[in-house]
Amino acid sequence: MYNDYFSAYMIDLKGKEIGAEFDMNSVDPNSRELLKPRAQFAYYVSRIDSIKGRRTASALVFSKPFRLSYESKEALLKRAEELFGPEPIFDEE
């Protein structure tokens, strides 16, 4: 991340990884706090047809980091144990 741009590695819908640089002005000021190393985002590119002709529009949409609360984690672990039983014990050979 630099003063006026940032670099990113992206994976397209076919799984191909490409590198790109984005101008900081393309990031919504309300989303800039989400721009950190290893941040996840979607890059949308659309063609817009109108009477005046066709134009291209793009948008960067950042995802907030996902964190479980302590209560959610405990509830998730309890439900997993109900569904799958206690942690598996592997035979040592």
pLDDT at 49: 93
* Residues of the chain below pLDDT 50: none
pLDDT at 65: 65
pLDDT at 51: 93
Token digits for 48? 């817009």
User: What's the sign of the alpha-carbon dihedral 19, 1, 61, 76?
Assistant: positive
Q: Which residue carries 């309300």 as its tokens?
A: 30
